[in-house]
Amino acid sequence: MTFLFNEILYRPILNALVLVYNHLSFGSWGLAVIIITVIIRIILFPFFHKASRSQAIMQKIQPQIKDITDRHQNNKEKQMREIMALYQKHRVNPFSSFGLLFIQLPVLIALYLVFLRGLTPDNLSLLYSFVSAPLHVDFTFLWLINLKESSIIIVVVAAALQYLQARLSLPRRQPAAAVSSAERLGRQMSFIGPVVTLLVLINLPSVIGIYWITTSAFSIFQQLIINRSLSDSNYQEHGPDGNKNNQTNP
């Protein structure tokens, strides 16, 4: 299993990173990390987009789910039937994000490990014959930040971008009585996530923070696209076909 992971994911990503550094990064390891992260996110964009879009729709229809749950709290069968009909109407699968996560996760782990390990002698031995090992690598970013060491600036920016990403993924605040437990948890996680990011990145090399910042910025751009395509009126008052929903929001 380890051999397959290394040959299918880790080694190709490592070689792609070195190629980018040699030819596209102007001698900046930080810029090479940014470029390869963007390339990987573009390749994985359909998977991320589908998962994020499904999650956004699920959050927007939570008031309708709560209404169904309240109206049929004594009839679990009818409750489940109407909720499944609602999912079908909005063309979402509440479990699809888990499958997509398993597709994305190995790639992201490989990418993370490549950045974390850097250009060690063991890593350089994994380069393909047509990829030249860099004679010298500048591990500074913008000639100021040593990417081998932790940087509080990088950590704070990464946490701030993650907070912004989380807030963009949340629906507009509803009256207190209409806020579901799932939405309440999501709003709490928008604060907890950045705190965890601070605690994790503060002990890691800044190169991981650069990767974190880049992928968060890409996710923000993607979330803005999703939010624009899924207006509140389309998914709270109307279905995806533009017709008025029959359920009344609480």
| The pLDDT value given to residue 152 | 92
| The pLDDT value given to residue 100 | 62
The tokens of 22 are what?
A: 């040699």
Every domain of the chain and the residues it spans: 2-237
Q: Which helix (H) or strand (E) holds 146?
A: strand 145-146
Contact between residue 240 and residue 63 where contact means Cβ atoms under 8 Å apart: no
| Residue 118 CB coordination number (10 Å) | 16
| The pLDDT value given to residue 97 | 60
End-to-end CA distance of the chain: 50
Q: What is the spatial distance between Cα 26 and Cα 24, in angstroms, rounded to a whole number?
A: 6
| The pLDDT value given to residue 175 | 53
**pLDDT tens-digit profile, the chain (250 residues):** 788 888 889 999 999 999 999 988 888 888 999 999 999 889 888 877 777 777 777 777 777 887 888 888 777 888 888 888 888 887 777 666 666 667 778 888 888 888 888 888 888 889 999 999 888 888 888 778 888 888 999 999 999 998 898 888 776 655 544 555 656 666 677 788 888 889 988 988 888 899 999 989 998 988 888 777 766 445 444 444 444 444 433 3
Q: What is the spatial distance between Cα 92 and Cα 216, in angstroms, rounded to a whole number?
A: 24
| The pLDDT value given to residue 34 | 93
| The pLDDT value given to residue 239 | 46
| The pLDDT value given to residue 168 | 81
Q: What is the pTM of this model?
A: 0.73
Q: What is the spatial distance between Cα 250 and Cα 232, in angstroms, rounded to a whole number?
A: 15
| The pLDDT value given to residue 121 | 85
